[in-house]
Structure 1
Amino acid sequence: MEQFLRIGVITTSHGLNGEVKVFPTTESPKRFREVRRVLIKTPKGTIETEITAARSFKNLAIVKFAAFDDVEQVKNLHNAEIYIYREDGQKLEEGEYYIADLIGCTVVTVDGENIGVVKDVLQTGANDVYVVDTTGAGVQGLSSKNSELLLPVIPDCIRNVDIEKGVITVFLMPGLV
C-alpha cells in the first residue's frame, strides 16, 4: 500500500495571494478544509507544506498553502499533484477502500480464473464500478475485442476484496460478459 494518498491536482492560480484552484480526486472539495499537512509533487520535486485556507468553488477547491504568498510562487504549479499521508486520510468503515488501494488489484472469478487487473474505479452515485483491464485474460465468454470489463460494486458481483493480497474475487453475473 502506498504511504501517500492523492487528494487533488492543481489546475491554475487564483488571485494574487498565492491561492490555487484544485481539482479534487477525493469525494468532495470540502475535504480540503479538514486536511492540514500536504505534499505537492511537481516535476522539480516535492514540497511539504500546510493548507492554511480552503473553500469550495463549483466542482473545485480554492486552496491557500503556507509555503506560497503570491501568484508568482504558484504559477508553475499547474498539474502538480497534492498528496496527504495515509494516516491523515479519512477513516474507512468495514468494506470501504481507498481507490488507490484497489487500482492494480488482480481480479479473479469465484472459480479462480484470472480476469485481469483493476485500472480505474468509476463513482456513479448508485454504486462504484471497477474498470478491469482484461488484456490477456483467458475467461470463457470475455470478448477478445474488448480489453476492459466493467464490474458493478454490488454484493452479488463482488464477493471478496483482499487489499493485503491485492486480490478481488468476483462472481460474473449473467450479462456482464
Structure 2
Amino acid sequence: MDNYFEVGKILTTHGLKGEVKVNPITDFIEERFTPGTSLYIGESVDSSKQEVVVQRARMHKQFVLVIFEGIDNIDEAEKIVGKKIFVKESDRQELEDGSYYFKDILDLPVFDAETGEKLGILNDIETPGANDIWEIKPENGKSFWIPNIASVVKKVDLDNKRIEVSLLEGLRDED
C-alpha cells in the first residue's frame, strides 16, 4: 500500500477553462507542479484518491494556478474544489541536512534543550514568511508558537524522535 503526504489544497476555480487555485504546502513548488507530474486528489490522507496529471501550472502571488489533464472546464474544476493534493511517499525529494518534511516532525515531543523538560508536542507548522513557525501543544495549558530559527530550535533528532528547543523570553505565556 502506498503512503501519501499532502502538498496542497485546491481553494477555488480560476476562470472557465478548468484552472484551479492551489495553496501549496511544499518547499518544492516547481517540482510538484511541473507539467507531466502525477498528483493525487482526495479528501484526506486515508481516503480514496484520484490520480491527476499536471498539464500546466503558474505562480500567482503565493498560490499556484494549475490545469490538470482531463479537467478542461469550470464544471469539472468545481468537482475538485476543497480537495487536498497528495504525492506518493516514493516521490519525495531528497532533503539537505537540517531540512525535514512536515509529516516527519509533526507530533514529535519537544524538550527544553537546557533542562530536558518536556514542553509538549509539535502540533502544527505555519509558513507565513521568512521562516516557519511551530505550534507547541503542552499536555496541560495553552499552546504557544515558536519560530523555526537556529537560536530557538537547537536539534531535530528523527532517529530518537525528539526536538530540542531553547525558548526566548516571552515566547511562552505561562499565565
TM-score by length of 2: 0.79
Is the contact made by 1:103 and 1:118 (CA closer than 8 Å) also made in structure 2?
yes
For 2:43 and 2:126, the matched residues in 1 are separated by 26
For 1:3 and 1:99, the matched residues in 2 are separated by 14
The percent identity for this pair of structures is: 29
Per-residue deviation, 1:67: 3.8
What are the ranges of 5 or more consecutive residues in structure 2 without an aligned counterpart? none
Is the contact made by 1:18 and 1:70 (CA closer than 8 Å) also made in structure 2?
yes
Q: Paired residue for 1:36?
A: 37
Give 1:69-108 correspondences, 5 Å limit. 69-108=72-111
Q: Paired residue for 1:140?
A: none
Q: Provide the alpha-carbon RMSD of the alignment.
A: 2.7
- Picking from 157, 165, 169, the partner of 2:164 is 169
Is the contact made by 1:18 and 1:71 (CA closer than 8 Å) also made in structure 2?
yes
Work out whether 1:156 is the aligned partner of 2:151.
yes
For 1:165 and 1:80, the matched residues in 2 are separated by 34
Is the contact made by 2:36 and 2:55 (CA closer than 8 Å) also made in structure 1?
no
Is the contact made by 1:118 and 1:131 (CA closer than 8 Å) also made in structure 2?
yes
Tell me the secondary structure at the aligned position of residue 49 of structure 2: strand
What are the ranges of 5 or more consecutive residues in structure 1 without an aligned counterpart? 137-143
Per-residue deviation, 1:30: 4.2
Tell me the secondary structure at the aligned position of residue 33 of structure 1: coil
Work out whether 1:116 is the aligned partner of 2:120.
yes
- Name the aligned partner's letter for residue 58 of structure 1: K
- Name the aligned partner's letter for residue 61 of structure 1: V
For 2:126 and 2:88, the matched residues in 1 are separated by 23
CA pair 41-115 structure 1, distance change in 2 beyond 3 A? same
For 1:154 and 1:15, the matched residues in 2 are separated by 39
Higher strand share: 1
